[in-house]
Every structure is written in C-alpha cells, then in structure tokens.
Amino acid sequence: MKQEQFISQYQAQWEQMRAWLDYQQIPKRQRTRDALSEPTLDFPAAYRQLCHQLALAQSRMYSPLLIAQLNDLVTRGHHCLYTSRLHFAHRFIQFYLQDLPQLVRREWQALLLAGMLFFGSLLAMLIAIQIEPELVYSVLDGATVANMEDMYDPQRDSRFGREREADSDVYMFGFYIKNNTGIGFQVFAGGLLYGLGSVFFLLFNGLYIGAAAGHLTQIGYIETFWGFVAGHSAFELTAIVLSGAAGFKLAAALIMPGRKVRSLALRDNAQQAILIIYGAATLFIMAAFVEAFWSSQTWIPVLVKYAVGISLWLLVIGYFVLLGREAAADET
C-alpha cells in the first residue's frame, strides 16, 4: 500500500484519537464551565490499532514525518493509559482508606437500626435457649441440629464447621463466598420492599445464628463452636449489618423521598448504597478466606483463635471509627 492510500484510509482515526487526547488534557472545571462533551472513542481498541499502524508505517519505511506524527500519538496515548491506571489505583486505595469508613459513619442511623435488629435478635435467641433449650427447634429442624452437633463435635479430628466429606479448603472457600454474599444480597435487596425485606432477613439471620450458637453453647460445645466463629465473625457479622444499612438506604428513598420523585431519590441513594455493598462484599470475601483456611483448623489452640478473633474485631471497629477522619477534618 502506498503512503497516500495509507494516510487516506486511517487519517480519520488519527484525528479522532488526537481530538480525544486533547480533550483529556482539558481540566475538569473548564470542561464543566464550557459545557464540553467528550469525543466518542473506544480508547483501548483505538490505541491498539494506532500501535499496529505505527508498526506498519515503520516496516514500510514511510516518510519520517508521518512516522513522527504517529509516534507522537502513540506516546500521548501511552501516557494517558498509564495515567488512567494510576488514577484507578489511587481511587481504589482512597475508597478503602478514606471514602468507605467516612460513608459508613455518615449513615450511622441506618447502621444502628440494622445492628439492633440483627444483633438484638441473635443475642435474644442465644440467651433464650440457655433458659429453654427446646426453643432451638422453633428455628431449626432436627436434621439441621444433628448436623451442627456433628460439625462441632469435640471428638472430631477433621475440620470443624463443615461436613466430614467436605475436606477441600479451596472448595469451602468458594462455598462460603457464595453463601455469605447470598445472605448479604438478600438483606440489601430487601430494602426495595420499603425496608420490610431487609428487616425480615436481618431478624431471620439473627435468629438462625442465635439458635445455632445458643444450642451448641447449651450442650457444651463451647470451645469448638466459639473457637471456630471467633476468627471470621468480625468480618461476616459486620458485613451483614452493612448490607442491612445499604438496604435501609434504598428504603429511605422510597419512604421519605423529600422533594424528589421516588425514582430520582432511589437513584441517588442507590449510588451511596452500592458503595456500602462494595465494603460488605469485601468483608464477606475476607470472612470466607479466614473461615476456610483458619477457623476450621483443629490443631490451632482455642486461646489462639480467641486472641485472633478479638484482634480482628478491634481492627474492624477501629477501621470504621478512625480511618478517614483527618481527611474529613481537612475538607471542613
């Protein structure tokens, strides 16, 4: 292909790339002030094509001027791509070290309501079963109770907290992720039923966990059960409460939309609720990892498990209470 044909074929793509790169260099404030719209471009695909076109121009020994122009576009594109990756990494770190704990503190009312429903029902059932052991069967059926007793039997020499044939830690890691995130999604999505769904699933899971904990405590499986849950409880239980808070954020838009129409209020609140769910999902994954590879181990002394569990609870509480406060103070 002659150089003139090459230029004629790809000139429009180069101009489109140049316009897009020029737009990226304009400060965001100026874009807003001048109402500038971003040129339409699939940048990754266009950048790959540009690199290929530069390689063709060099291999065919086209004019140095054309090669220099293409090389300049490739250099600018590479710089933009590299910078965007740095920005993504910066936003990722900022979200977890600043934005997420600040957001959770701002939504303390929804968090408090979710915590009272979940932990209140959990503790109430746990205590009630110590007084009236038969209450466990009002929540769990006989087969489930028998299965739990087997999983936390002090005489077990295999993993605690799982069926005897489920001996793969990696398999259980995946199972715990699926199970935990499923619970979180139910609690969160229940907010769309004007919060009633979130209330139901928080109470249901609180009663279920409380019944299991109360029964195993009542029959004396204290070290095996509490040693098992100590490690991952900080991550898992906090994630459930965060899911409830996110669900109530959705419900607030439907119940109290203010001057907005409900659809707009729901859209605005959902943007904040989704960020909380990101945090909850992260905690669920962390809980699954600890549960699969640490909590189930039978060779670890129970006092070590308790110490780790207490440390992780202090870590989670400190994270949401303390992180991001300096940045918030600077902004004010």
| Same domain? 51 vs 169 | no
| Same domain? 270 vs 201 | yes
Question: From CA 212, how far away is CA 102, in angstroms rounded?
Answer: 34
Looking at 51, 67, 96, the residue that finishes a domain is 96
pLDDT at 316 over 80: yes
3-state secondary structure of 121: helix
| Same domain? 112 vs 89 | no
| Same domain? 305 vs 188 | yes
| Same domain? 176 vs 42 | no
Between 113 and 299, residue with greater pLDDT: 113
| Same domain? 116 vs 246 | yes
User: Where do the H-state alpha helices sit in the chain?
Assistant: 3-24, 28-33, 43-59, 64-94, 100-106, 108-131, 142-151, 169-189, 196-218, 222-255, 262-290, 302-322, 325-331
Task: State the DSSP code for 27.
Answer: -
Q: What is the per-residue pLDDT for 163?
A: 65
| Same domain? 318 vs 218 | yes
Angle formed at CA 320 by CA 319 and CA 321, multiple of 5 degrees: 95
pTM: 0.74
Q: Is residue 36 part of a domain?
A: yes
Angle formed at CA 319 by CA 100 and CA 185, multiple of 5 degrees: 50
Work out the average pLDDT over 45-49.
89
Q: Is residue 166 part of a domain?
A: yes
Q: Is residue 322 part of a domain?
A: yes
Per-residue model confidence as pLDDT tens digits over 214-230: 999 999 999 999 999 99
**Which DSSP string do the residues of 275-291 spell out, in sequence order?**
HHHHHHHHHHHHHHHHI
| Same domain? 133 vs 91 | no
Question: From CA 76, how far away is CA 80, in angstroms rounded?
Answer: 6
3-state secondary structure of 301: coil
Q: Is residue 274 part of a domain?
A: yes
| Same domain? 33 vs 143 | no
Question: From CA 142, how far away is CA 326, in angstroms rounded?
Answer: 52
160: left (phi over 0), alpha (psi -120 to 50) or beta: beta
Work out the average pLDDT over 117-139.
96
Between 288 and 328, residue with greater pLDDT: 288
Range of the domain at 18: 3-96
Based on the structure, what is the number of domains in the chain? 2
Between 298 and 108, residue with greater pLDDT: 108
Side-chain-side CA neighbours of 124 within 13 Å: the count stands at 12
Per-residue model confidence as pLDDT tens digits over 101-126: 999 999 999 999 999 999 999 999 99
Q: Is residue 211 part of a domain?
A: yes
H or E stretch covering 2: none
- The answer to whether the CB of 247 falls within 8 A of the CB of 179 is no
Angle formed at CA 176 by CA 237 and CA 285, multiple of 5 degrees: 65
Work out the average pLDDT over 276-288.
95
Per-residue model confidence as pLDDT tens digits over 147-174: 999 989 888 777 777 765 556 788 888 8
Lowest mean pLDDT among 24-28, 54-58, 243-247: 24-28
Looking at 61, 96, 131, the residue that finishes a domain is 96
Q: Is residue 101 part of a domain?
A: no
Looking at 71, 96, 121, the residue that finishes a domain is 96
- The answer to whether the CB of 186 falls within 8 A of the CB of 247 is no
Q: Is residue 82 part of a domain?
A: yes
| Same domain? 130 vs 258 | yes
pLDDT at 212 over 50: yes
pLDDT interval class at 327 (50, 70, 90): low
What is the torsional sign of CA 170, 171, 176, 178? positive
Q: What is the per-residue pLDDT for 244?
A: 97
| Same domain? 134 vs 84 | no
Task: State the DSSP code for 136.
Answer: G
Q: Is residue 102 part of a domain?
A: no
Q: What is the per-residue pLDDT for 332?
A: 45
| Same domain? 300 vs 155 | yes
pLDDT at 87 over 60: yes
